[in-house]
Chain A
Amino acid sequence: MKKTLHVAVREFLSTVLTKGFIVGILIAPALIAVLIVVMPRLMREAPPKVTGEVAVVDPTGRVVGGLGEYLRPERIAERREELRRRIDEATPEAVRAVAGTSPQGRAVVEQSLDAALGEVPRIQVVSLDPATDLEEAKAPLKVEAEGGGRGEMGRLALVVVHPDAVVRPQGQGAYGSYDLYVRGKLDDRIEDEIRGGLREALVAARVAASGLDREQVAAVTTVKRVRSVTVTAEGERVTNEVVNILLPAGFMVLLLVSVLTSGQYLLTSTVEEKSNRVVEVLLSAVSPMQLMVGKIVGQMAVGFLILALYAGLGVVAMVSFAVLGLLDASLLFFLLAFYLLAYVTIASLMAAIGAAVNEMREAQTLMTPVMLLIMVPWMLWMPITRDPDSTFSVVTSFIPPISNFVMLLRMTSTSPPPLWQPWLAVLVGAAGAWVALWFAAKVFRIGLLMYGKPPTFATLVRWARMA
């Protein structure tokens, strides 16, 4: 027992204290953090300050005015302000608190807002004679502008409104539309503004032409999107769709990542021991079983560390989004239980493979079936989250080792299975883990001192029978 522990401690430390592990384990959360912080900044960046004109050929004569109004700098600034207010509302309390409490944070936020508002494009809408030659009107678009997408750009776009865009001819179903010609290098956000303006202007013109009131139409067609309330035996709570999808996915990814990472480390370290020829020295001090169990336990600790780090991150995120209440304590328990079972199963196989081969390259062929086992839950993810109670879902959640993943997926879904099912899955998973461990122990003992031709899976099975 004590020897197993010594092996485990060495295994854990020699894995965790490498540069590769520390960098690898820190980089992933850092990347996620960067994505969360930086990406919205990049996306929200206001369109560049552009000065120019949009030429409109409008045979109906009812669209130009609306578009001109929509593209006035003050209106653009207003819409932007409105957007900012909505984003602010949606920002979780915790994030706002962080941004608000630190003076620098507030300064940065305000500065960037001011800058954004100051950068409103100045677009002039020019109406062209409906008889204008199309090619002639396009000509200014071809003139190369100075300043590469910023500043004075001359004609930015040419809009040709269809004659039937506002009033439908008798017996025709659809309204006409418009053609949009833009110059090269026009910022897509400017183009979006123009499209938005045209949509707004066309709808307003059509509504007016039909003798209706715009405000009224808007009111009539608006249905506020509400949150659903999930009703369960325990009570009612507001459904959070994002969490409903993200939670099972998050749990499964967590499980897969930690199992896969620690399993991979176990494989590498076993192959290393064998190819370094340390293994026989070790075997004179510990039995193969002690060595294998020690290594599995050591790498399990590594997996727990990864699990704790990422799950911790997840919990912090959930606290900041104030949705921690959705997380069940029993769910965490089962996460750990299924991690343990899935890990022991996969790790045993990895250890067996590591003991059987002479170098990493040879391990690849034997790894493929194990990798497939790990990939299966990914393929099952969508069908199972969609219909967690289908026969298919229920059956797969009792086939080890994928049962460990699938049952967790079902438990985090909108319709969790009755409690006896997870417990049964734990039992089935434990049986699977035991079989894998038994197989691995046999192969491990024989494989460790076998050098030469890398074995096939059939050979491994023969070894297991032989030992």
Chain B
Amino acid sequence: MGDAIVLRGVSKSFGSTVAVRDLDLVVPEGALVGVIGPNGAGKTTTIRMVLSILFPDRGELSVLGHRSALEAKDRIGYLPEERGLYKKMRVGSFLAYMARLKSGDGPDLRRRVRQWLERVGLGEVENKRCEELSKGMQQKVQFVAALLHRPDLLILDEPFSGLDPVNQRLLRDLVSEENRRGATVLFSTHVMVQAEQLCDHVVMIHHGDKVLDETMGGIRSRFDPRTILFEPLDPAADVAPLEAVPGVEAVRRDGQSHEVALTEGSDPAAVIRGLAAAVPAARVEIRRPTLEDVFVSIVTGAPAAASEDGARLREALRDTGGLGAR
């Protein structure tokens, strides 16, 4: 299998602002890759360059084996971040029009439109005008518009923003399904949890630089668990004895629970036993490093939990509600 997307040393500036700097990126065919990073990191610019909507100042790229996405447009499905519909057009006609523009024409076009609308729970809106739909419904229609012509490469820019948890899950399932069908998926988000739930490979961009490019498994093993989450049975209980447990370096209060940092080389299992013996526990668990932790530690150069910078960054990475709970 070849590579669906290859970017080599790609840079793009707008005036004096560098949006993307010397980016190398390879997305193999059939992969499901998330591009993550806070707002303004350069995600959308990267995606627009992949689609030849913008052209890089420097560097080379190839998409589906072509020098430019323009030559492979019909095989690409794209859900932009800046998305909209023709207000006065009927939903069914809009979808059919978009499919036709992608050369997805055919005798069964209308039937496919109906099928897809039913799949995203919008079976009854086919003959409504786009402006009559709620924002979430419009987003689902746009999502369908990106999938309708069965693309080989699916590029989704912030696909879940503004959706409720139920619909986020629905779209996530559809994306996985498309990926299983064989489509390569590249999507961007600034909400790390979503990437964590969906991708098998993550690319992180910060201030136009790529700071991480790794599989989820690799990330997990590289960023070894060094924190245990401890929630006492009695919220008012004195947690001082915890610090005395062997292998514990520090205890930090985090809302209802406490984050217990481990010393280098200690055995997490032994520490858990010790903690539970010291204070009656409602919950004790090893905290797996989230993308958020990884990102914060990369950007701030410090262990995830510590700095104040990290806390602010965390806020930015969590800001959509929905499935944001850890």
Contacts and interface: CB of A to CB of B under 8 A. Distances in A.
B98 A281 contact: yes
A164 B100 CA distance: 90
A276 B87 contact: yes
B302 interface: no
Contact of A280 (B74, B80, B97): B80
Contacts of B83: 277-278, 280-281
A2 interface: yes
B89 A14 contact: yes
A287 B84 CA distance: 18
A272 B85 CA distance: 10
Contacts of B87: 272, 276
A249 interface: no
A420 to B, nearest CB: 43
Nearest to A467: B55
Contacts of B145: 281
Interface string B85-109: 1111100000001101111000000
A10 B97 contact: yes
A280 B78 CA distance: 9
A309 interface: no
B73 interface: yes
B85 to A, nearest CB: 6
Contact of B73 (A277, A279, A281, A284): A284
A287 B102 contact: no
Nearest to A6: B100
Given A278-B84, A280-B80, A285 B102 contact: yes
B73 to A, nearest CB: 6
Nearest to B77: A284
For chain A, give the interface size range: 20 to 34
B32 interface: no
Contact of A276 (B48, B85, B100): B85
A449 B53 contact: yes
A283 B53 contact: yes
Interface in A276-304: 276-287
Interface residues of B, number: 27
Given A276-B87, A278-B86, A284 B103 contact: no
B89 to A, nearest CB: 7
B101 A7 contact: yes
B53 A281 contact: no
Contacts of B102: 285
A284 B51 contact: yes
B76 A284 contact: yes
A284 B80 contact: yes
A3 interface: yes
Nearest to A448: B53
Contacts of A3: 101, 103
A18 B86 CA distance: 14
B70 A2 contact: no
A277 B145 CA distance: 14
B101 A280 contact: no
B97 to A, nearest CB: 6
Nearest to A276: B84
A286 B73 contact: yes
B189 interface: no
Interface string A151-177: 000000000000000000000000000
B315 interface: no
A14 B98 contact: no
Contacts of B238: none
Given A10-B97, A286-B101, A277 B82 contact: yes
Nearest to A275: B84
Contacts of A287: 70
B185 to A, nearest CB: 15
A277 B86 CA distance: 9
Given A2-B103, A10-B97, A281 B70 contact: no
Contacts of B76: 284
B11 interface: no
Nearest to A269: B86
Interface string B115-155: 00000000000000000000000000010010000000000
Contacts of B54: 449
A283 B101 CA distance: 10
A280 B82 contact: yes
Interface of B: 48, 51, 53-54, 70, 73-74, 76, 78-80, 82-89, 97-98, 100-103, 142, 145
Give the top 8 A-B pairs by smallest Cβ distance, nearest first: A277-B84, A284-B78, A285-B101, A276-B84, A280-B80, A278-B84, A277-B82, A6-B100
Given A3-B103, A281-B80, A281-B84, 13 more contacts: A14-B88, A14-B89, A272-B87, A277-B80, A277-B82, A280-B80, A281-B142, A284-B51, A284-B53, A284-B76, A286-B73, A449-B53, A449-B54
8 contacts: A273-B86, A277-B83, A280-B82, A283-B51, A283-B53, A284-B53, A285-B74, A285-B98
